[in-house]
């Protein structure tokens, strides 16, 4: 199965762009959502996270997300250890999911492809960008947070310029109508590239 990575910084609108691809009947795997599900469902992950963070990691048999967020925020050691527990499980789950799909390609939406040096796991990478102010505004509204917190998260992510350099396709998501057109163009370009590979 051909795997297309869809990435972009916080607030770039990756999920919206993923929905546009889904409208074209391309199966979408949202890595963050699946990671959250697995963190609640998988007994192995649960056991390891409790060993890492303590009993407070889960509350009423559900992941205590505010507690975990407070632990990993600005603590790279904890973040890396948590990722080492969760990411392999998500990767294995994705492989099983991808095998079941019937489409010319699938999209895996993941925020930090380049940061984890995982670009080789994808046949093509699409990066979603947007103006800085638009991104901050989206995240402040979505997460009920403030500008400084969003900027702190952005500081930990690779710059759009760097991501764009390493990507096969770029979608600028400042205007939804225009972004939808770009998705269609990108879809056609991917199908064209797949035809070349076949021939």
Q: Identify whether the C-beta of residue 39 lies closer than 8 Å to the C-beta of residue 83.
A: no
Give the distance from CA 112 to its chain's centroid.
6
- The rounded distance, in Å, linking the Cα atoms of 94 and 130 is 27
Q: Which of 94, 80, 78, 75 is closest to 32 using CA atoms?
A: 94
Q: What is the mean pLDDT of each run of 10 residues along the chain (199 residues)?
A: 95 95 97 93 95 94 91 86 93 95 96 90 96 92 87 84 95 96 98 87
- φ, ψ dihedrals at 80, nearest 5°: -65, -40
Q: What are 33-52's pLDDT values in tens digits?
A: 999 999 999 999 999 999 99
Give the distance from CA 192 to its chain's centroid.
25
At 113 the pLDDT is: 92
- The rounded distance, in Å, linking the Cα atoms of 140 and 34 is 23
Protein fold of 1-27+101-193: Rossmann fold (3.40.50)
Q: Identify whether the C-beta of residue 173 lies closer than 8 Å to the C-beta of residue 180.
A: no
At 198 the pLDDT is: 77
- Find residue 3's DSSP bridge partners: 106
At 49 the pLDDT is: 96
At 106 the pLDDT is: 98
Q: Which of 167, 196, 170 is closest to 183 using CA atoms?
A: 170
At 85 the pLDDT is: 95
Cα dist. 174→4, 13, 21, 22, 103 in Å?
A: 22, 9, 17, 19, 28
At 152 the pLDDT is: 82
At 116 the pLDDT is: 85
| Domain residue limits, the chain | 1-27+101-193, 32-92
**Model pTM above 0.85:** yes
């Amino acid at each position: 199965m051909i795997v297309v990575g869809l990435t972009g910084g916080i607030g770039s609108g990756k999920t919206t762009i993923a929905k546009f691809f889904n409208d074209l009947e391309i199966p979408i795997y949202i890595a963050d959502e699946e990671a959250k599900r697995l963190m609640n469902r998988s007994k192995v992950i649960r056991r390891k996270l409790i060993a890492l963070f303590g009993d407070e990691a889960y509350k009423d048999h559900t992941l205590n997300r505010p507690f975990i967020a407070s632990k990993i925020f600005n603590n790279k050691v904890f973040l890396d250890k948590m990722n080492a527990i969760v990411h392999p499980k998500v990767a294995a789950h994705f492989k099983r999911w991808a095998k079941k799909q019937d489409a010319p390609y699938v999209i895996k939406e993941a925020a930090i492809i380049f940061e984890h040096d995982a670009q080789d796991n994808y046949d093509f990478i699409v990066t979603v960008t947007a103006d800085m102010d638009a991104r901050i505004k989206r995240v402040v509204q979505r997460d009920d947070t403030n500008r400084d917190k969003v900027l702190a998260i952005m500081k930990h992510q690779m710059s759009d310029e760097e991501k764009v350099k390493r990507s096969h396709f770029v979608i600028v998501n400042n205007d939804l109508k225009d972004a939808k057109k770009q998705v269609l163009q990108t879809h056609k370009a991917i199908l064209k590239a797949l035809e070349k590979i076949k021939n």
